Amino acid sequence: MTQSSNTRLGVALMLATTFVFALQDGISRHLADAYNVYMVVMIRYWFFAAFVIAVAARQAGGVRVAAQTRQPGLQAARGVLLALEVCVMVTGFTLLGLVESHAVFACYPLLVAALSGPVLGEAVGWRRWAAIGVGFVGVMIILQPGVSVFNPYAIVPLAAAFMFALYGLLTRYAARQDSTATSFFWTGTAGAATMSVIGIWFWEPMSGGDWAWMALLCVTGAAGHWLLIRCYEVAEASAVQPFAYFQLVFAAAIGISVFGESIRPNVALGVVVIVSAGLFTLWRERQQR
């Protein structure tokens, strides 16, 4: 298979991944509107942990090899951070809806670029700093401080974006010593342990119909991660990463068609600014490589 066909397959897998994750976000919002967020995320992580253990068991050396790491503290911190980020983001869905939550969350690649210097010691040139500044302007356009009554709930997806950016940087740092399989294993198991400690205190009885939605949420979570793994196996991350922004498109479509949300003009303009700046930073990173 040629590299170009690998890239086309990678793009197709990334688009499928973003659609599945957007569907997962829609189901998460539906369930979190009716039940406690911690319980919903906890059950989702139970299935996710079972999935990563099953994947590890099929690899050479099994679970024992997948769990081996010389940096257990870092790997555990990654898993805990991602689990908490999911809780914060799902809370944002219930407070702001899918459209505006994803609009603010779209700034996370810019946060990755901004934090890559102090966290990883990577050089960030003036062009990328300029793009980060432009992206910050896009966030301000969405939030509209001083123009209208500021919605404090907008801080929730912004906090989730910061947490996810930090998680991504810690993942890159962990990759210097551990394999992808090891990081994936710790992401699922540490996250499940964290959510079990938190979520078990918020258990609520669920209706039969909502258990069906919960099962679909678990399946979409596992399917999304599997598609993402396959995507990065067949194509370079720098080639397919720009298409990850389609999750915003799919999530907005679900928010509008299913939950009756709308897109305010300032949100649309802010998203265009943020995505443009994010694509520029991805392009600059690829050029430097």
pLDDT reported for residue 148: 46
pLDDT reported for residue 68: 92
pLDDT reported for residue 4: 42
pLDDT reported for residue 234: 79
Domain boundaries, the chain: 3-288
Weakly modelled stretches of the chain, pLDDT under 70? 1-5, 120, 122-124, 126, 144-150, 237-238, 284-289
Buried (b) or exposed (e) across 228-252, using 16+ Cβ within 10 A? bebbbebbeeebbbbbbbbbbbbbb
pLDDT reported for residue 204: 94
pLDDT reported for residue 149: 45
pLDDT, one tens digit per residue, over 205-228 is 999 899 999 999 999 988 888 888
